[in-house]
Structure 1
Amino acid sequence: FASNPIKEHELEGKGKVRNENTDPEQENELVLHFDVNKTIIMIDKAAGKSTSDLLNIVIANAAWGHIHKGEEGEGKAVWKLFSKNPSILSPGEGLITYSSFVEKTHPFSRNIKRKITKKSRDALTTTFTNPGQPGSRLRGFVESLRHKLQLPSAVVGTKLSRQAGLDGAEVYLLPSFLRALRTLKESKRKFSVIFRTFGSDLLDVAREFNAFCCGVHPLHVGFRMDGSDGQPDMRLFIPGAPTSFPTKGSSFRTEEAAKCSVELENSVEFKGQPRFGSIDRSEQTVTLALGTLKQRKSASDGYPFSHVAKERIITGKRNIYNFFKKAVSRGPLSLAIRDCFVHWREHSQAGNAGKLFVLDSINLQEGKQQIFFDDNIQYHNAKIVDICDIRSPDVSVPLPRAIGRFLVRAEPLESITNESYYVNKIKQCEESFRRSFKIRTQLRKSLLKCPKIQQTLRSIHNDQARTPSPQKPYIPWPKLPEICRSSTSTTFEEVSEPSTPQTRVGSPVLRTQRSLPTTAKEKWKMEVKIANKASHFKP
């Protein structure tokens, strides 16, 4: 997390780097932000979309084709399938996915309500592979993905499945997500998990996630992250979500779990702050309210957190950043945050109005790397994530520096079919940051060996130690006017002109330089004329 970049260096003489992990191979603690819908689950109850609907959207996002003009008299563009298999990358030039085609042909406009346009888009993408639709030939891939989401027949309908909230025959949390957490725990890595969603699905997520943490998940029986093994307790404490499950031989009883929850909320580490909250955004500020998941339903609704105690209200990007920093600095944990969908929608789904993500994009001062996974992130546009650096919270981090390092576009086509998907993505992000960190460290050390650099850093340090004075306006090349006034030497623009007689400092040349013409040739002619008059020299 952030630090003052000036104070990272020992400025008292030797240019020694301090307060920074200079071993690029050292494993850092991870702070993992996960979107929910189409990132770790394949159902959207709030939008009324079934697993089949979402899988159709997944295939529509990965099906490539050509745009053709409609038949005579119709004038409508028609999309025709080109690729035989869905893929993340385009199989050829000039191709467009069906989802992108739908967005182009059904753009948002002021004349049509957004809900109507969104409904029209969904009607096309959620039925993409149905009979008679443009992607009907890809129907088999939808069935293949659905098969990947099936629970083993041996656990369907069992007590373990039911108490984890798995009432049907399909998984809820993606196996690749749970596998990533288990791999990190078994590798003895330190990590925190922050669930980020616009929707109202956190309670269902918490139920299965807590079953996973308590060792009673039907696909991970016996694996624990509930603190019973002396390691951090990663359970989500949300009202209505069970934090313990009655199983034979379990070390946790319901009363003990409730007591643990109370002790957690009143512990010194959290000062009574819950592990869940809601973010509200406006034009003026951003606010995090802890202990509530309430959100505005429309832009005209009033302030949603009037019922929340003042000590649980955190306002401003820097303060929210400091809250997350302090929370994870006490040790690994899980948090659940509901973000402000209304603000994002009212700003045309712009990234800088989306899910707040403040980080230190340059240094890992306390050895923590943050990574945000969301299926709505685009490779040319953060779209749904407001990623900014703590040094300049009002400025977005350039996307090329963030993608593959701090931001990951979650690809459901891969996260469903590859159980190691999130494990691999985390490794790639770490390797990317490690490489850039190593290069910056080597460059910094090389620069600090230069006496001029050391002198400059000491000067900056000394200036900061003094009483701040009003900053002078920046003047590029400040000595250039003085050089012009004290010499008639030709510049690089005047090398083709003959040299002129040198003049004295007190000559008329100095007194007239301020009003000389701007072009090089006119300047030279004027200087020669004045010099000739001053010295009574005639060629």
Structure 2
Amino acid sequence: MSGGAGRRRLVLHVDLNNTVVAADAMSGQGPRAALNTFLSTVTWGRAGAAGEWQWASDRPSLRPPCPDALSYYSRHGRDPAFTEAGPGRCFGGLHAHHLQLLEWPGRQHDVFSVQGEPSKRYHLILPAFFRLLDTLHREGRAFAVVFRTFGTDLPRALRAVSCALAGQHPQFPALRDVALPVDLTPGQIRCSKREVVLTRGAERLATREDGRKLYDYFSSFEGIGGFQDHFDWWARNQFSSRGGKPLWIDPHDPGVHHIFIDDNIRLDDADTIVHPQTDLLEAIADEDYFLHCVRRCEENYDRYLARTEKDTPSPQWDGQ
């Protein structure tokens, strides 16, 4: 990592469902179903001559293994029982392995774990997220975390993080030393053709008044908080990036780096300053996964800034 990246303040915009939370309260999916659903989006095949499904690869991947491959989800829809019947059964061992990694160890904890099968409980928030907080703190980094979700898990996730930073997480007791305030008040971001409006408690900002205000707001964000993004607006825009979660950046601001980590980012540009789609399987299996995501984004951003410095004669506001 370059010296510039090491000094830059990080603002981490982090999705919840299928990113740091392997469950979805809005759809009623627990970890078993959520993991099945995710697997249906990262396994690839095609329809045979008689219409039967044929796998193009026996390994999940974020990108198609060949040009004509389709994800099982794109052809058949999300399947919360994907590995339990039909073509997805061949991925049953992979599902079982990662579900086991998700199991909550030791005594039941109602804040940090969620109920699965009658005798099983699972991590609510992946350990890799708490490892990220702990590592950034130990490295002396200045950072903030903004949860950004279309779902309804925000209050529970904020409470879990607050308890973890109070030293209550049995696997990460050192988080009590992370002096980050947690605002338990969920905010909202609502979009329209005219403007984007952010509200949280008594706070209200709108892009119609001044788009720069939203950038300044998030750039100076303190601690950990969260916002529910506008799912209906995304749906009205055919679930495209035009209706997705807005992110304001200013590449001419040398002091702040905004990073978005989300399972539903799909970009083809290898040099994107936004980390590509989160791999839930790797995030479950590797506690350093999100740290690697941040490192990669910082390296990409350094390269991006180095290129733009040659081409930009004077600073200007880039906006959303």
TM-score tier by shorter-chain length is 0.7 to 0.9
Deviations 1:120-151 (A, max 9, x none): x23xx2222113x0111111111011011012
Match of 1:363 in 2: 252
Match of 1:412 in 2: 280
Cα distance, 1:23–1:213 mapped onto 2, change above 3 Å: closer
The answer to whether 1:340 aligns with 2:230 is yes
Cα distance, 1:36–1:321 mapped onto 2, change above 3 Å: farther
The 8 Å contact of residues 159 and 184 in structure 2, kept in 1 or not, is answered as no
From 108, 128, 151, give the equivalent of 1:199. Answer: 151
Match of 2:318 in 1: none
The answer to whether 1:379 aligns with 2:289 is no
Report the Cα offset of residue 217 of structure 1: 0.8
The 8 Å contact of residues 314 and 320 in structure 1, kept in 2 or not, is answered as no
The 8 Å contact of residues 64 and 96 in structure 1, kept in 2 or not, is answered as yes
Give the match's secondary structure for 1:146.
helix
User: What letter corresponds to residue 174 of structure 1 in structure 2?
Assistant: L
Give the match's secondary structure for 2:233.
helix
Match of 2:317 in 1: none
Match of 2:39 in 1: 59
For residues 51-450 of structure 1, what are the structure 2 equivalents within 5 Å? 51-70=31-50, 77-92=51-66, 94-102=68-76, 121-122=77-78, 125-131=79-85, 133-152=86-105, 155-157=106-108, 161-164=109-112, 169-224=121-176, 227=179, 233-238=180-185, 276-291=186-201, 312-316=203-207, 319=210, 321-326=212-217, 328-329=219-220, 332-360=222-250, 362-365=251-254, 367-380=255-268, 400=269, 404-441=272-309, 443=310
Structure 2: which 5+ residue stretches go unaligned?
315-320
User: What letter corresponds to residue 279 of structure 2 in structure 1?
Assistant: E
Report the Cα offset of residue 97 of structure 1: 2.3
Give the match's secondary structure for 1:336.
strand
User: What letter corresponds to residue 101 of structure 2 in structure 1?
Assistant: K
Q: TM-score normalised to the size of structure 1?
A: 0.53
The 8 Å contact of residues 404 and 428 in structure 1, kept in 2 or not, is answered as no
Q: Distance in 1 between matches of 2:288 and 2:6?
A: 22
Q: Distance in 1 between matches of 2:65 and 2:181?
A: 42
The answer to whether 1:35 aligns with 2:15 is yes
Kindly tell me the number of residue pairs found equivalent between the two proteins: 309
User: What letter corresponds to residue 252 of structure 2 in structure 1?
Assistant: N
Shifted more, 312-321 versus 177-186: the winner is: 312-321
Q: Distance in 1 between matches of 2:187 and 2:5?
A: 35
Cα distance, 1:46–1:83 mapped onto 2, change above 3 Å: same
Give the match's secondary structure for 1:42.
coil
The 8 Å contact of residues 209 and 236 in structure 1, kept in 2 or not, is answered as no
Give the match's secondary structure for 2:276.
strand
Q: Distance in 2 between matches of 1:93 and 1:314?
A: 43
Report the Cα offset of residue 234 of structure 1: 3.2
Percent identity (aligned): 26
Structure 1: which 5+ residue stretches go unaligned?
1-21, 71-76, 103-120, 228-232, 239-275, 292-308, 381-399, 449-456, 458-539
Q: TM-score normalised to the size of structure 2?
A: 0.86
Q: Distance in 2 between matches of 1:439 and 1:282?
A: 34
Q: Distance in 1 between matches of 2:207 and 2:291?
A: 33
Higher-RCO chain (CA-CA 8 Å, sequence separation at least 6):
2
Cα distance, 1:25–1:189 mapped onto 2, change above 3 Å: closer
Deviations 1:17-59 (A, max 9, x none): xxxxx96465311110011111110111111122111111222
Report the Cα offset of residue 87 of structure 1: 2.9
Cα distance, 1:347–1:86 mapped onto 2, change above 3 Å: closer
Q: Distance in 1 between matches of 2:303 and 2:252?
A: 13
Cα distance, 1:316–1:173 mapped onto 2, change above 3 Å: same
Instruction: Please say which structure displays the higher CA radius of gyration.
Output: 1
Q: Distance in 1 between matches of 2:70 and 2:230?
A: 31
Q: Distance in 2 between matches of 1:436 and 1:372?
A: 16
The 8 Å contact of residues 219 and 256 in structure 2, kept in 1 or not, is answered as no
User: What letter corresponds to residue 237 of structure 1 in structure 2?
Assistant: L
Give the match's secondary structure for 2:246.
strand
Give the match's secondary structure for 1:289.
strand
